[in-house]
Chains A and B, each alone.
Chain A
Amino acid sequence: MESSYPAAARTLEPVFAFMSSSLAQLETTFYKIPGSHVAARYVKSSHQNDPGRTVVEVLIFVFLIFTILQQRTRAGDDERHFIKYSDEEIDESVDDWTPEPLGAPLDDVETADLAAVPVIVGPIGPKPRLLNSSKPVINMVSYNFTGLAGNELIRDRAIETLRKYGLGSCGPPGFYGTIDVHMELERNLADFLGTESVILYSQSFSTIPSVISAFAKRHDIIVADRGVNFAIQKGLQISRSTIRWFDHNDPRSLEDVLIAVEKERKKRRAPLTRRFIVTEGIFEKDGSMADLPRIIELKNKYKFRLILDESISFGTVGRTGRGLTELYNVPASEVDMLVGSVANGLNSAGGFCAGARAVTEHQRINGTSFVFSAAGPALLAVAASEGINILCNTPSLLSTLRGNIAAVRAILDRVDVLDIPSHPASPIIHLHVRTTPTPTTNGLLDPSSAATISTGKSNPLSVHPREPPTFDIAREERLLQELVDECLAQGVWITRAKRLRGQELVEARPSVRLAVSAALSRKDCERAAQVVRAAAGKVLGRRR
């Protein structure tokens, strides 16, 4: 090294000479500019007085150049595919262009579907009145699981709140929209679940997309169940993270994918990014239930964070309705982001995310639909708080619900034209048209066998499983609608599970979705199930 130094210096000599001469040149040219002396003096003196100032000024300069350059490069990218047209040519293409209609008119099936949407007249309850039906019907549709709808105490508290707070909050939480009753509900939810903190959103559907996208960014990795609901799908889409899929409700498949993700990272020597498992407690699509203890074991083992959507299970399972964590007796704090629905579980409106304080506080700044939307009405928050109170103090509500679910399942599990993918404890019960020839023994599903038994492995890059089930959507929807109509004629109100066909990542199998309520008497539940059984036999039986 040492010996090469003089040589290098010699070769560099002309360069130095050139530099010093051009610097001198620059200086004389500079002083020729009018006012340059003043500037020079200014810089000199300011530097003497305060070297820090020069640093700041240089920084401003660099900052400016940097922003200007950045704008330049951005413009450059688009120009590769640009074709230059004259004004006349542009006018011509403007004249020639005919846009498609903004919304395609509905086809016959859609029109009929929309027309068949039932309208409730008056309040919701176990036996509401529908428009165009003379008698009250047995309600197997509404998400009134613990029967809080129509509770007088809640209603009175809501009215009290109205008289103190008015209705709307008239502002997002950041700008005077954080009302004390919201903070109280957040505290109540956190205490109820046993987590450090909770953040409240004003709509349940908009909660999970915001939660996911607040944490998961580009290059982060999300491992998600193939059967997740639509809201989660939207969250995955908006996050722009790398998604890997595991087979619906199959912890073995989950483990395979987790291992593969880690292997891939090691192979690529990629830096450690945030990694999440996203799944549901009770799946909205089919009512199956996640094996939470196993998932938690896996997430801890492979160092993923868990985002669990309990929109259906919160307020409906567990001894007092705390959800899956209570049912399986795992601390809720083990779930990094526990998302639930105040609308479904507490018969009010909104959604929430529970977790550590760092998790919720992060969302207060980064949760899009939290930051950019008005806080919910005060009286709905109070109604929800009161709902929690009632759940805590009346465990019998949940045991009644469990009893009713069991009563319905006892009858429907034995119907040989129906398949029930839902977990026996699930308050929503999905009914599929059974297509495969079935063993004549009863089709009762063992809880642990809710997982699909897969042969071979699916590709985690694709949302589609290796052997996707096949079904005729149009035909099954038609049959199920007949079933719905038949039941309604018998005074039992049920509904098909509505799906956005063509927008879901994986088409869900058509189903009828029953929602069991603690507000119904055991007898009514049994009667409703009998009616469904008879109608299923009538509508589906004769087609086979």
Chain B
Amino acid sequence: MPSPIALNLSPTRSMFKRRSSSSLAALASAKSYLAAVSEADARARAHGATPTSTPALSLSSSVTTNSEDSVLAEEDDNRDGLALPIVPPTSEQVFNTSHLEFGHSANQRHRYKSQYVPGAALTHDEVDPPYYVLITTYLSYIFLIVLGHVRDFLGKRLNPGKYRHLMPANGYAPLNSDFDSFYTRRLKTRLDDCFSVPVTGVPGRTIITFDRETNDYNLTMKMTGEKTRGLNISSYNYLGFAQARGGCADAVEECLRRYGISTCGGRLEGGTSDLHVMAEALVARFVGQEDALISSMGFATNSTIIPALVNKGCLVISDELNHASIRFGVRLSSASVRMFKHNDMKDLESVLREAISQGQPKTHRPWKKILLIVEGLYSMEGTLVNLPAILELKRKYKFYLFIDEAHSIGALGPNGRGVVDYFGINPRSVDILMGTFTKSFGAAGGYISGNKALIDRLRVAGHGGTYAESITPAVVSQILSSMASIMGVWTPPPVQKGLPSPAEPVQHPGPAPVSMLPPWMDLPLVQRDGSEGRERLRRLAFNSRYLARGLMKLGFITYGHVDSPIVPLLLFNPGKMAVFHRMMRTRRTPIYVVVVSYPATPLVTSRVRFCVSASHTKEDIDTVLRACDEIGDALDLKHLPGERWPIQRIVDSAVELVNMQD
């Protein structure tokens, strides 16, 4: 029974019809682009300076502009304003990336260093929206729930055929009970055009999605065959390593030629290759631990290693918002679990005091060990773990600390080494640092790091080593090359006669010794000297702060820390999620966003989650802010009390906004 109030019958038509491209201010063709470049040259000359070339993301000007990697070779038109930079570079600024994958940004003022400022507040107050917003949100849910039940009630009687899969039939219980699937059927289906959008190409600065349409209110969706490119502010591509060209992709190609696709086995059963050994050494060096272990899936890293760390008689204390993979692992471990309020150190301490003094349930025997599991950066909230306070507690309460750095590794800290780096803390003061390669490194899989004895224990006792497939060579080479380019590579100077060869640097955070990379991996100079990696880190930090601050100045309620590349914007009303998503993706420059709601978030706080990337330029963030400004007015989303700036002022004073300290 199709809902009469479903919003999106063929969403690409009707009110969300894509606007015509005629009103485009952006440059429409390569020809006009060329003209703009020469204009920019002229301007630069008029200012009496030779145009500066960016040191890192450009090659020397000896590279001709008609090389394959040059922006002018970009295949298609610029109707959406995404293919060509809004601020045209001078002809001396030659970029070796594709603007669609990794935006061209030469302005060195659009950089920032991600670092904790001692004394800065870590938790900022979560602002409640006006009451009417809360009430209408609750009402929306109640309405949806009541309506859903009414439809179920009537539907089962009037149209039983449609409900057969929810009822017992010929002696089989239904696969899916109507109670368990209620949320999916009656609430999520209404938003389904916002989820699982099929894509193609590189999930870089821009992404191409396939258009879909539905004739039955989202029950089934058909691809129309059309594709739409849009600005991608949703992928976990924090450092912009999702690239089909450049040093890392070259390394992967070389690796495929040398190693093939797979190593055909588990790590302990003959699937270990020399690449794995190198990668583990490099990861340990990167995070600053003694040893590390890599596995072929980030989720499985948690779900198969946590059971090897704790068992019956142990206690896991877990942040209430921890990721599903952590919960999965804890459940498999048969350890007891206690939750504490998200990032609330007072609550954590009281849980600790109670747990230690009460001991195990019923027997009151002391716990064998207590493991605190937190995330570095929370993927739905953008909050940072309060690491200094946790380490303080750790000294007193002697628990072990496990930090899941899935989102923070690479994305935070002056050297990209995660939250520990951000706070300037010695990584060895944390027992276990876990992370994934799917995000900042543009690869796949995960790692666990800690001291050597512990990691060896996990190699033997973790499920993955014995039973899971090992990580494939192509993925390892992406990890090695991207990590090395963040670290920079240290090559021993030529040995002089009579002098001992210089020792490899071991300080943390230091460069990657060339001995930890395969000899055939020939990274370009900008990656070897670490300048490209530094640029990525600085660009990400700038973009993150700019977006977060900009949204706040526009009056949006956001969550999380300003330095977090994850910026959630609160929508509250469930109905606004779908509309926001559709309005964003049907703009002249389409913007692809992620909307999340219950059960991933609490019921009232439905949100849009932006994931900023180093591949975005300042102008891309401008585009997002402008879009939010317009849509925010249309949907009544600006509820933050305090000073508001008009959008033009925000765009003009981006640098000032970013550098503002609170």
Report which A residues bind B (CB closer than 8 A). 56, 59-60, 63, 81-83, 85, 89-90, 93-94, 97-106, 110-111, 113-114, 117-125, 131, 141-144, 148-151, 154-155, 158-159, 162-171, 173-181, 183, 202-206, 209, 215, 217, 220, 229-231, 234, 237-238, 272-275, 303, 305, 341, 343-344, 347-349, 358-359, 362, 364-365, 368-369, 371-374, 376-377, 379-380, 383, 493, 495, 497-500, 503, 513, 515
Contact of A495 with B297 at beta-carbon distance under 8 Å, contacts A97-B398, A162-B252 already known? no
In whole Å, how far is B364's beta carbon from the nearest beta carbon of chain A? 7
8 nearest A-B residue pairs (beta carbon): A205-B468, A103-B457, A141-B270, A373-B299, A142-B264, A203-B297, A374-B438, A303-B171
Point out which of A119, A123, A365 has the most chain B C-beta atoms below 10 A from its C-beta: A123
A-B contact count (CB 8 A): 370
Whether the Cβ atoms of A166 and B261 lie closer than 8 Å is no
A71 to chain B, nearest CB (A): 14
Q: Is the CB of A83 within 8 A of B364?
A: yes
Interface check B209, CB cutoff 8 A: yes
Instruction: Confirm or deny: B466 has a beta carbon within 8 angstroms of a beta carbon on chain A.
Output: yes
**Complex contacts, B274 vs chain A, CB 8 Å:** 119-122, 131
Is B173 a contact partner of A274 (Cβ separation < 8 A)?
A: yes
Question: Which of B257, B264, B268, B323 lies in contact with A124, CB distance below 8 A?
Answer: B264
Q: Mark B369-388, 1 if CB is under 8 A from A, else 0.
A: 11100000000000000000
- Bound: A229/B466 CA distance, A: 12
Give the CA-CA distance A106 to B362 in the complex, in Å: 32
**With A124-B264, A349-B262 as contacts: A205 and B237 at CB distance below 8 Å:** no
Whether B347 sits at the interface, judged by CB under 8 Å, is no
Which residues of B in the span 282-322 have a Cβ within 8 Å of any Cβ on A?
296-300, 303-304, 307-309
Say yes or no: is B132 at the interface (Cβ < 8 Å to chain A). no
Q: Beyond A94-B397, A103-B453, A114-B456, is A343–B463 a contact (Cβ under 8 Å)?
A: no
CB nearest to A213 among chain B residues: B328
CB distance from B237 to the nearest CB of A (A): 4
Across the two chains, which residue of chain B brings its CB closest to A101? B369
- Is the beta-carbon distance between B241 and A168 smaller than 8 angstroms? yes
Q: Specify which of A141, A163, A180, A217 is in contact with B199 (CB 8 Å cutoff).
A: A180
Contact present for A168 and B478 (CB under 8 Å): yes
User: How far is A104 from B368 in the complex, measured between Cα atoms in Å?
Assistant: 13
List 13 other contacts, CB 8 Å, given A102-B431, A158-B474, A231-B463: A90-B353, A124-B273, A166-B204, A167-B443, A169-B438, A176-B203, A202-B444, A203-B297, A205-B464, A362-B175, A372-B299, A373-B298, A373-B438
B469 touches A167 (CB 8 A): no
**Chain B residues near A (Cβ < 8 Å):** 101, 138-139, 142-143, 146, 165, 168, 170-176, 180, 184, 188, 195-204, 207, 209-210, 232, 234-237, 241-245, 248-249, 252-253, 256-274, 276-277, 296-300, 303-304, 307-309, 323-325, 328, 331-332, 352-353, 356-358, 361-362, 364, 366-371, 396-400, 431-432, 436-439, 441-444, 450, 453-454, 456-461, 463-469, 472, 474-475, 478, 592, 594
Alpha-carbon distance A215/B175, docked complex (angstroms) = 7
Cross-chain contact of A114 among B138, B241, B260, B459 (Cβ < 8 A): B459
Most chain B CB atoms below 10 A, which of A113, A124, A183: A124
A63-B142 in contact given A142-B270, A179-B200 (Cβ < 8 Å): yes
Pick from B242, B300, B358: contact of A205, CB below 8 A.
Answer: B300
Contact of B235 among A110, A176, A376 (CB under 8 A): A176
> Hey, which chain A residues are within 8 Å of B328, CB to CB?
238, 368-369
Contacts of B454 in A (CB 8 A): 102-103
With most chain A CB atoms within 10 A of its CB, the pick from B165, B270, B436, B457 is: B270
Closest Cβ neighbor of B248 among chain A residues? A167
In-complex Cβ contact of B201 among A165, A305, A362, A373 (8 A): A165
State the Cβ distance, A155 to closest chain B Cβ, in Å: 6
B residues in contact with A151, CB < 8 Å: 260
CB contact under 8 A between A164 and B460, given known A103-B453, A180-B198 = no
Q: What residue of chain A has the Cβ atom nearest to residue B172's Cβ?
A: A303
User: Does A60 lie within 8 Å of B249, measured CB to CB?
Assistant: no
Contacts of B352 in A (CB 8 A): 94
Across the interface, B273 reaches (CB within 8 A) one of A120, A173, A234, namely A120
| Contact pick for A358, options B165, B273, B297, CB 8 Å | B165
A435 to chain B, nearest CB (A): 24
Inter-chain contact A167/B475, CB cutoff 8 Å: yes
Give chain A nearest CB distance to B325 CB in angstroms.
6
A168 and B443 contact, CB distance less than 8 A: yes
Residues of B within 8 A of A110 (CB): 460
User: Within the complex, what minimum Cβ distance (angstroms) separates A68 from chain B?
Assistant: 14
B474 touches A99 (CB 8 A): no
Query: Judging by beta carbons under 8 Å apart, are B256 and A119 in contact?
Result: no
Between A and B, 18 residue pairs with Cβ closer than 8 Å are A56-B143, A83-B357, A94-B397, A99-B367, A103-B309, A105-B453, A106-B460, A113-B460, A122-B259, A155-B261, A162-B249, A167-B478, A176-B594, A272-B168, A274-B172, A348-B261, A349-B469, A380-B472
